[in-house]
Structure 1
Amino acid sequence: YPYMIKPATKMPVAKILFKSTTSSALKGAIQLGITHTVGSLSQKPERDVLLQDFEVVESIFFPCEGSNLTPAHHYGDFRFKTYAPIAFRYFREMFGIRPDDYMYSLCNESLIELSNSGASGSLFYVSSDDEYIIKTVQHKEAEFLQKLLPGYFMNLNQNKRTLLPKFYGLYCVQAGGKNIRIAVMNNLLPSAVRMHLKYDLKGSTYKRRASAKEREKTVPTYKDLDFMQDMPDGLLLEGDKFTAVCKTIQRDCLLLQSFKIMDYSLLVGIHNLDQACQEQASEEAVAGAMDQRRPQGQKSLYSTAIEAIQAETGNMGPLDTEDKTGGIPARNSKGERLLVYIGIIDILQSYRLVKKLEHSWKALVHDGDTVSVHRPGFYAERFQKFMCSTVFRKVSSKTSPCKKRRAVTHGPMRRAGGPPLSTQTSSTSNPLPLLQHQISSDTREDTEGDNGKKWKSNSSNFIYIALLIQLKCNTKCFTTVKNIIRINRENPSLPSSI
């Protein structure tokens, strides 16, 4: 085939070929196949999803010279299969994706190959508008996803706000006698936002540290032990966001456990807002370029995390940051402002016989509870505990602006028994000396009238003084204050009720 690497080529074959197919030929075949299948599907009338729709596989042949249904191309003959097209069309509609936007994002411009391949050797592509990730999956993973579709359908109808991957399509390219299966998913980490740190977290500790080769990358993907060393205090979230994150993780883990899924990870991308201030100009330029490539009306698909959190907290309003791409506001132990992007990935690993044997073998040499592979129930429990006690920590909500103003106003009140308030000034008059005289006189009268029994504290007096200053009262209010103080002396329980 014309896309086969010639022996004389000096380029590294391992990085060019995938199952005897060049990356460029694979990208072209994917785009041709998706264009045809989505276009033909849009001509079919919409209907409810039936149980048999999850088992449907459509296939079409793409010869080089073209046919009545397919265009001519230079990628070599290949066959393109689409799994459960009706079901995935329904999923895309639930996520608010229109067919023309889906085709435009994936097929209008060339796909971008990502350098960070998975541990299994999978290829990753991202759409030119940064919305979609295309990942090659193994035969067992594709088969498991097909079986998972009915349960996935049920979960989406019950809970659209989730940290689980959003699957938009499952396809297969047959070329050169090889099957290359691919899954189209949402992009969790937008390239328009620089990720200063990236972690793949499982909640296990056995061999959970980034390798030396991984650390040489521009943006390494660190692991659990690295996170515990880099951030011993975790990522600090406000109370409502912390609760929402933990509830979402708990609900998703329960679903994964019901399908006997394990060995999944929480992908965490951290954008440091304070650190990025120096790069603001370049970041805005990149963001502007990305906005130009995105069609108008296209929804940002990597906002899964913040959508889930806002849904849990009942707050669907704008965030307190300038973020437009779905990051969760957080802080580190230094107080630096962060945007955290999270999502559960690698959910296509079931606890099959091979995984059971792997866990048993590792448990003989190491502590069985620390290894990654484990039975689904234990894995889910350990995963939740690690995320909600080590990765994310709860902090009190920030003081609101009105509370800050009240704190400034009440600051001098803490000096009860010390020097009287003397810092409050006015451009017209300063009623404070007269007010102090009235209070002192009233206190002396109260003391004499009660046979030397002094009123219990002057702190209440200062409360009323501060109240007058806050309300900007003039000297006509002093008589009222004097009467209030008398009432307070005679009825000690009254101020608390007021």
Structure 2
Amino acid sequence: MATAGPVSTEGANSTRAAGTLRMASVEGQTSVSSLQTNKRTIGHRGIDPTGETTYKKTTSSDLKGAIQLGINYTVGSLSQKPERDVLMQDFEVVESIFFPSEGSNLTPGHCHVDFRFKTYAPMAFRYFREMFGIQSADYLNSLCNDPLIELSNPGASGSLFYVSSDDEFIIKTVQHKEAEFLQKLLPGYFMNLNQNKRTLLPKFYGLYCIQAGGKNIRFVVMNNLLPRAVPMHLKYDLKGSTYKRRASPKERIKSLPTYKDLDLMQDLPEGLLLETDHYNALCKTIQRDCLVLQSFKIMDYSLLVGIHNVDRPGDEASMPVPDQKRNQGQKPLYCTTMEAIQGEVKGKAAPEYSESTGGMPAHNPKGERLLIFIGIIDILQSYRFVKKLEHSWKALVHDGDSVSVHRPGFYAERFQKFMCNTVFKKSSLKTFPSKKMRGVLTGQRKASTAVTGQTQPGQPSVMVAQTNAEQTQPDEDSDSAVCPTSETPGIREKDPCPDLITSPLARDLADTTH
């Protein structure tokens, strides 16, 4: 009996141990499976068993087809309506059309799932497109004639991104709250465009919604800030914050990492150097955009900065070529922001450095010529209760002034000071050299062309400057944007900050408010 007891107990323990092992194995497999599933899903974006991207369980191919069918129909039908001034009620209009796969009297047949397509404020967005110089025919040609290209590195937001084949437009899926906020923002956006045509805010060309499979998929069409035709050597997402504002190790191994504020302060301690008039005009534009964002209690936005180094060795083979799909007289849309920032200086010839590729001329302290592409992004977030809680919690643990999420007024002020004191600085030398010193950017695909400095016949040249080297309400006693002082590294004391309004470019910017 005494012997049998332990044997029986050992057997039971062995059985229980085996059972526990099997349960642990099953749980482990479930955990691994769950982990793999989580890796394949970010927000509403996921991957189906075939490897195709999905958004709210709608495949990317169905979504792209629905986008093109819907935009082609709505913009085409809108072009038949006479032009008129935009009315307040236009911002609240929502038009809807059903697209059955077998087709209807109004819609063509298609091979995708049945869906309903909604267009928000069509008259208002047509007005916006016209203000940006986009004709309906060009809009349709860019978005609907060729397949949309899905971006393979969409980021951690869970959104899907598509780019048009001619590189002009970006399509981004947005959440319900973001779409709702943009609708409320439209009247103010309309006013800002009329008062500040040199804005760095996103250029919104359309807001739409696709209803399929019981889900609402909302998306916006915007300008493409970073053209694929111009190789970017550096890219920064800047908020003016230092709390955890450094690219992660996972981000750094990407082919084109998106660096952050602390990275820029380490990589470019002397900032990006701009010609004085360009610097003043840019800071004035940032100041005005900050006031608009603050008035709508918007925060957590960023300044996206793309940098192309013209003098980077060995890049001749990667130089951009003219887009054959674009009309000869049509400039790329990412040019317009840079040209607007510089403005048209009375009595001076317009700069010729970016006729085909866009970009603002700058240089680094090494004297290397740069083209920078900039714009404010992620503006569809207001300072609501959740953000207030987030900031309060972070402020308890960390320095309240350094965290990213902040009340709109403080956020804007910090943003503007960081952009105009740390990121961008005034150069002491002339930005625009003589024509003999201007480099040719477009068309340099052969080494011989790079050596001679001449373009091939029939290829437009892009003149690039060669030298040596963002949002809130301003101070109550000052009407000028923040600018460097003698305490700012890299700025000489004898180079005082002039009143922005005295600059010809700044006067041109200021005239848009009158």
Q: Distance in 2 between matches of 1:294 and 1:212?
A: 39
Q: Distance in 1 between matches of 2:190 and 2:203?
A: 11
- Tell me what 1:283 maps to: 319
- Tell me what 1:33 maps to: 70
Give the 3-state SS of the residue equivalent to 1:17 in structure 2: strand
- Tell me what 1:381 maps to: 413
Q: Quickly say closer, same or farther: Cα 1:361–1:300, change in 2 above 3 A.
A: same
Q: Distance in 2 between matches of 1:11 and 1:316?
A: 59
- Tell me what 2:203 maps to: 166
Q: Which amino acid aligns with 1:159?
A: N
Task: Indicate if the aligned counterparts of 1:305 and 1:328 stay in contact, CA closer than 8 A.
Answer: no
Return the offset for 1:159.
1.5
Deviation string, structure 1 residues 245-299 (Cα, Å, up to 9, x no partner): 1111011101111111100000000000001x53224424xx23xx112234433
Q: Which amino acid aligns with 2:100?
A: P
Structure 2 residue 396 is matched with structure 1 residue 396: no
Give the 3-state SS of the residue equivalent to 1:344 in structure 2: strand
Please give the residue correspondences for 1:45-194 in structure 2 after superposition, counting only pairs within 5 Å: 45-194=82-231
Return the offset for 1:96.
1.0
Match of 2:334 among 297, 302, 306: 302
Match of 2:277 among 240, 258, 261: 240
Q: Distance in 1 between matches of 2:421 and 2:353?
A: 25
Return the offset for 1:109.
0.2
Deviation string, structure 1 residues 447-466 (Cα, Å, up to 9, x no partner): xxxxxxxxxxxxxxxxxxxx
- Tell me what 1:223 maps to: 260
Task: Indicate if the aligned counterparts of 1:96 and 1:299 stay in contact, CA closer than 8 A.
Answer: no
Q: Which amino acid aligns with 1:307?
A: E
Task: Indicate if the aligned counterparts of 2:48 and 2:54 stay in contact, CA closer than 8 A.
Answer: no
Task: Indicate if the aligned counterparts of 1:163 and 1:305 stay in contact, CA closer than 8 A.
Answer: yes
Return the offset for 1:399.
8.6
Q: Which amino acid aligns with 2:374?
A: I
Give the 3-state SS of the residue equivalent to 1:29 in structure 2: helix
Q: Distance in 2 between matches of 1:166 and 1:399?
A: 28
Match of 1:19 among 56, 60, 81: 56
Gaps of 5+ in 2: 1-46, 435-514
Deviation string, structure 1 residues 357-395 (Cα, Å, up to 9, x no partner): 111111111111111110110001000000011101111
Task: Indicate if the aligned counterparts of 2:335 and 2:354 stay in contact, CA closer than 8 A.
Answer: no
Please give the residue correspondences for 1:408-487 in structure 2 after superposition, counting only pairs within 5 Å: none
Return the offset for 1:155.
0.9
- Tell me what 1:197 maps to: 234
- Tell me what 1:344 maps to: 376
Return the offset for 1:322.
5.6
Q: Quickly say closer, same or farther: Cα 1:97–1:371, change in 2 above 3 A.
A: same
Q: Distance in 2 between matches of 1:323 and 1:93?
A: 21
Give the 3-state SS of the residue equivalent to 2:334 in structure 1: coil
Q: Quickly say closer, same or farther: Cα 1:296–1:398, change in 2 above 3 A.
A: closer
Task: Indicate if the aligned counterparts of 1:31 and 1:106 stay in contact, CA closer than 8 A.
Answer: yes
Task: Indicate if the aligned counterparts of 2:273 and 2:427 stay in contact, CA closer than 8 A.
Answer: yes
* Count of residue correspondences: 389
Deviation string, structure 1 residues 171-207 (Cα, Å, up to 9, x no partner): 0011111111000011111100000000000000111
Q: Distance in 2 between matches of 1:401 and 1:94?
A: 32
Q: Which amino acid aligns with 1:128?
A: S
Cα RMSD between the aligned structures?
Answer: 2.0
Deviation string, structure 1 residues 292-318 (Cα, Å, up to 9, x no partner): 122344332112431232227558844
Could you tell me the TM-score, scaled by structure 1's length?
0.75
Return the offset for 1:401.
7.2
Identity of aligned residues (%): 77
Q: Quickly say closer, same or farther: Cα 1:314–1:128, change in 2 above 3 A.
A: farther
Deviation string, structure 1 residues 225-262 (Cα, Å, up to 9, x no partner): 11111111110111111111111101110111111110
Task: Indicate if the aligned counterparts of 1:128 and 1:293 stay in contact, CA closer than 8 A.
Answer: no
Q: Which amino acid aligns with 1:358?
A: E
Give the 3-state SS of the residue equivalent to 1:396 in structure 2: coil
Q: Distance in 1 between matches of 2:432 and 2:357?
A: 25
Q: Distance in 2 between matches of 1:100 and 1:316?
A: 34
Q: Distance in 1 between matches of 2:303 and 2:154?
A: 17
Could you tell me the TM-score, scaled by structure 2's length?
0.73
Task: Indicate if the aligned counterparts of 1:164 and 1:343 stay in contact, CA closer than 8 A.
Answer: yes
- Tell me what 2:292 maps to: 255
Q: Distance in 2 between matches of 1:322 and 1:154?
A: 29
Q: Which amino acid aligns with 1:163?
A: L
Q: Quickly say closer, same or farther: Cα 1:112–1:315, change in 2 above 3 A.
A: farther
Per chain length, whose mean CA-contact separation is higher, i.e. which structure has more relative contact order (CA < 8 Å, sep 6+)? 2
Structure whose residues are more often helix by fraction? 1
